[in-house]
Amino acid sequence: MAEGRLPRLVLLALGIWLNAADTLVAATIMPSVGRDLGGHAWFGWATAGFLLGAIVAGASAGRMSEKIGLRAAMVLAGITFAAGCLLGALAPDMGTFLAGRLVQGVGAGWVAGLSMVAIAVLFPSRHLARVFACTAAVWGVATLLGPLLGGLFAQAGHWRGVFWLFAGQALVFCLAAPPLLAGAAPPRQGGKVPARQLVALAAGVGLVALADLAPAPAPTVLLVILGLAVMAVMLRLDTRAPVRLLPRGAADPRTAVGAGYGAMFALMAASMGLTVYGPALLQILHGLSPLWAGYVIAAQAMAWTLAAFAVSGVDGGAPERRCIRTGGILISSGVLGLMLALPGAPLPAVILAAAVTGVGFGMSSSLMNRRILGMLDGDDRATGASAFIAVRQSGGAVGAAVAGAAANAVGFGIAPGVASAQAASTWVFATGVPFAMLGTWAAWALTRPPCS
């Protein structure tokens, strides 16, 4: 790439890797952490704390880059992530470990959000789809290598080494960022932090995270509803605030920008049943090992990556609109296919449904990002780009909590056997179908021609 963009792209890929791989590696080593530190009952908090930190930090990344400049913000994000890794590596007890996961989440959210900001401000519009396809490839590689890497460390009895490894990578990121981002997006005078919106977002995400840990369906549903209500209050606050957390129109589904963010949120929520419950259901219903079950799930990520590269050269206009709309339809079809296939269909049918879902995301996600950025003016591009991952992660948190409520309602959380797994494999994905349909409608609204 011209003008030194390739080294910058490598730096951003490292940032996306830190966010994507860390989550998968940590999930793999948690049984070993529990044996060493105790507190198996706190497993869910390791993910919930990371997710809370990542979403709030990711949403604030755009404003942080404006306040202190992109280069300084990247260094601060890398240092924060490394500090969280060190807390995890040195943790003498579960409380310290969980604190480290929260700090890691903040660092990872900043790193990923700032990487989106950097893509928006450093690369011309004609390259955006290809750059976003590269970030999808990083997520795909992380999906394949993350569980393997965590499994190797856990099997060797050195789970702390995972955090030392990621701390080292974060320090490399910190050292590389200043020279590679010199002169890029300097601070803007008068930059302020939308504190009220961030507090409301943290409260909403926190309630949803608690819902994902609730032992019974009723409190889970109640906490999800409360969390969504608080998020709605945050959106209302943001539309009236002098300093916004989200770009103009993001809170209004009647606008193309609002429909775009709504599509990101809903489609990611629809897909979480496979991510959260797929491995366990495949092991019980299809007799797969944990590793092979993980790689069946990875079929979705690899299909996502390949499809993203296939459409990365698509121009705007009608071809872009068709890809985004087709992507939404394929995601809905894939979720419905998983609902029908997982309870008793042959394994290839499950893999096919997962791959169809992945192709849908690959066809639509990068082009959605580009289309939304094209609708934002210069003042909103940084906040708009940093919101991409935070919005999708928020949708993922809601989808995971709703899927958890469905699984608990049929007894899978209490007695995970063949009968409860068959019921869960239907209802976990059935709860995703309405999200998928809503997301598909929003994708069509995003792509409605301006003259209509």
Q: Which two tokens stand for residue 73?
A: 């913000």
Q: Residue 76: what pLDDT?
A: 96
Rounded Cα distance, 202 and 234, in Å:
10
Rounded Cα distance, 241 and 219, in Å:
32
Rounded Cα distance, 437 and 335, in Å:
10
Indicate the fold that domain 249-447 takes in CATH. Answer: Growth Hormone; Chain: A; (1.20.1250)
Q: Which two tokens stand for residue 411?
A: 């007894």
Degrees, nearest 5: CA angle 335-340-345: 125
Q: Which of 290, 296, 308, 295 is nearest to 144 (CA)?
A: 295
Q: Residue 452: what pLDDT?
A: 44
Rounded Cα distance, 180 and 80, in Å:
19
Q: Residue 30: what pLDDT?
A: 74
Q: Residue 340: what pLDDT?
A: 95
Low-confidence ranges of the chain (pLDDT < 70): 1-4, 27, 39-44, 185, 189-191, 290-291, 413, 415, 450-452
Given CATH 1.20.1250.20, say whether it is the number of domain 1-190. yes
Neighbours of 332 (CB within 10 A): 26
Distances (CA, A) of 117 to 78, 86, 263, 312, 320: 15, 27, 20, 19, 22
Give residue limits of the domains in the chain: 1-190, 249-447
Rounded Cα distance, 121 and 179, in Å:
17
SS3 assignment, position 396: helix
- 249-447 shares the fold of 1-190: yes
